Structure 1
Amino acid sequence: MRGRRGNDVGKRRDTVLLRTGRRAGLYGAVAAGGFRRYAAYGAATAAGVFTNTVFGFIVACTYMALWTERPGLGGYDLGQALAFVWVSQSMLAACALLGGGFQEEVQERIRTGDIAVDLYRPADLQLWWLAADLGRAAFQLVGRGAVPLVAGALVFPLALPADPQRWLLFLGSVLLGLVVSFALRWLLALSAFWLLDGSGVNLVAVVASVFFSGMLLPLTVFPGGFGELVRLLPWAAILQVPLDVLLGRHAGAAEVLRALGFQAVWALVLLGVGRLVQSAATRKVVVQGG
């Protein structure tokens, strides 16, 4: 009796492991497809690299003038401020701070009704699009991020760290930031179930992400209670936190873990809210006969 029960438990465990492995393989294939999809647009990538590089030069020159007048502004010296500019430019497309990514496509699929096909897939809708967006972000980091950063390093004195461990922590922080970025944009995509046209909410979201992520100015520049507030918002987890991890703004392992924990909490909260909204949206589709 005990032997039969042990065999049943073992079979169930093997079945769960097999299903888990298949799902991991499925989402891995979706991520690889997202990478290849954006890699196919060579001309668009080259145009994006050119735009990021030119914009980086403009912002870097502005920072040089500002930091010359206000040395140590926001707690950064000039080299750190310039590094902030060029690393943020390398992350710009990956984080989709100016739009892009998947949300417009999902909104269009909702408007046309093609989202019903997605709901019939034998895969989790949120995880499917998360995997696809991480694949897109991986290509954007390599395809549109490397060249502007190298160009900036050749012209400006960037205070980039030489410690490999700092870069590994930075990459982990970037991954968490990408998940937070996805979770915010997933909520934007789902809003189309009620708004049908997402262009307005997308525009508002771009303005918020540009201002509150630290893309234009580091969030440490903002004084008083307002500065403390913007550093607690989820957009700070996308750009400001990874850059502070890279530039060594967090002294000691405890502060680094606290920063990564801040990102992880926002990622979990926003993904959870996205689950709830997705469930409500799915019920709406069923009620409407979709």
Structure 2
Amino acid sequence: MRADPWGLINRAHCYPRLVLAGFRRYSAYRAAMLAGLSTNVVFGLMRVGLLLAVIGERPRVAGYDAAAAVTYVWLGQGMIATVSMWSGFHVAERVRSGDIAIDLGRPWDFQLAELAGDLGRFGYHLVTRMVPPVAFGVLFFPFRWPQRLSTWGWFAVSLLLAVMVSFGIRYLLNLSAFWLVESRGLISIYGVASGLLAGLVIPLHFFPEGIRTILWWTPFPALMQDSLDVFVERGSPLPAVGHQLLWAVLLLLAGRLVQRSAERKLVVQGG
């Protein structure tokens, strides 16, 4: 039995370079970054107005006061690109073109290589797409900062796990192209559903209890709501971070198993 079945140890030096390459790749599209940032701020203002109208004169709604609602909005706007809920489906395009055969034949672990590139993207968007909307919210609205120093550490871990969960879901959607060939329909359905089910459109705590219970059995809250709850210190961070960790592990393992099946399908088809 091989001691390093996926070649992770022998080729470990290439993955930090892929992280850096991912950072540099996205830093090249500055106009797109500025356009996306402007869009985030505009929609953030609309969402703040809507949530504050819902709260009205009441002190709290579903545990949210005005400051918590504003924090939820601007932090969520910053997380859209940082977590990458609606982008990162280039692998499906390479499956359709047949270029995936080259990727799978390279001397690396393909899943880990893709994850490394996505972490580089995360680093760039953390600075350029998350910090500015949050800074805008801090300047012009009441903002709820964490009261415990440990919350910052928990939030950093939670945010990283949210990226891992997002990558796991997107990787599986990308691999579906091996069977569907045209996977854009499935990806579009995910794009529409994820914003609502992850807690971007409205906090999941606004939903009836039965719906919330069902949603917590899915990975969607791990994309956004868990991290937002950690930041505003809505109870202990352990359940939220534990939920994210569980789904990150399950999705990455599922991605590896599906990739193995896809590789066999590629060989059988003569790709």
TM-score (normalizing by structure 2): 0.94
Correspondence 1:73 to 2:61: yes
Secondary structure at the counterpart of residue 73 of structure 1: coil
Give the aligned partner of residue 247 of structure 1: 232
Residue 195 of structure 1 deviates from its aligned partner by 1.1
1:271–1:21 CA distance, 2 compared to 1 (3 A)? closer
Correspondence 1:39 to 2:27: yes
Q: Distance in 2 between matches of 1:23 and 1:245?
A: 35
Could you report, residue by residue, the CA deviation over 1:8-56 in whole angstroms, capped at 9, with x for unpaired residues?
Answer: xxxxx9xx8xx86653321111111001100111111111111111111
Give the aligned partner of residue 90 of structure 1: 78
Secondary structure at the counterpart of residue 76 of structure 1: coil
Correspondence 1:128 to 2:113: yes
Q: Distance in 1 between matches of 2:57 and 2:182?
A: 45
Structure-to-structure mapping, 1:22-171, within 5 angstroms: 23-68=11-56, 71-97=59-85, 99-101=86-88, 103=89, 105-161=90-146, 163-171=148-156
Q: How many residues align?
A: 268
Moved over 4 A (4+): 19-22
Percent identity of the aligned residues? Answer: 44
Q: Distance in 2 between matches of 1:226 and 1:257?
A: 22
Secondary structure at the counterpart of residue 195 of structure 2: helix
Which protein is bigger by CA-based radius of gyration?
1
Q: Distance in 1 between matches of 2:159 and 2:123?
A: 11
Letter in 2 for 1:228: T
Correspondence 1:273 to 2:254: yes
Secondary structure at the counterpart of residue 11 of structure 2: helix
Q: Distance in 2 between matches of 1:20 and 1:231?
A: 33
Q: Distance in 2 between matches of 1:232 and 1:211?
A: 15
Give the aligned partner of residue 10 of structure 1: none
Q: Distance in 2 between matches of 1:244 and 1:24?
A: 35
Q: Distance in 2 between matches of 1:175 and 1:23?
A: 23
Could you report, residue by residue, the CA deviation over 1:163-212 in whole angstroms, capped at 9, with x for unpaired residues?
Answer: 44211210110001110000000010000001111210111011121111
Q: Distance in 1 between matches of 2:265 and 2:10?
A: 30
Could you report, residue by residue, the CA deviation over 1:229-250 in whole angstroms, capped at 9, with x for unpaired residues?
Answer: 1133101011001111111112
The counterpart of 1:177, out of the listed 142, 156, 162, is 162
| Residue pair 2:165, 2:247 contacting (<8 A) in 1 also | yes
Letter in 2 for 1:139: Y
| Residue pair 1:212, 1:233 contacting (<8 A) in 2 also | no
Q: Distance in 2 between matches of 1:20 and 1:210?
A: 34
**Unpaired runs of 5+ in structure 1?**
1-12
**What's the C-alpha RMSD, in Å, of the aligned pairs?**
1.8
Residue 284 of structure 1 deviates from its aligned partner by 0.5
Give the aligned partner of residue 3 of structure 1: none
| Residue pair 2:8, 2:109 contacting (<8 A) in 1 also | no
Give the aligned partner of residue 171 of structure 2: 186
1:22–1:139 CA distance, 2 compared to 1 (3 A)? farther
Q: Distance in 2 between matches of 1:127 and 1:21?
A: 12
The counterpart of 1:200, out of the listed 163, 185, 200, is 185
| Residue pair 2:23, 2:124 contacting (<8 A) in 1 also | yes
Correspondence 1:289 to 2:246: no
Q: Distance in 1 between matches of 2:11 and 2:226?
A: 31
TM-score (normalizing by structure 1): 0.88
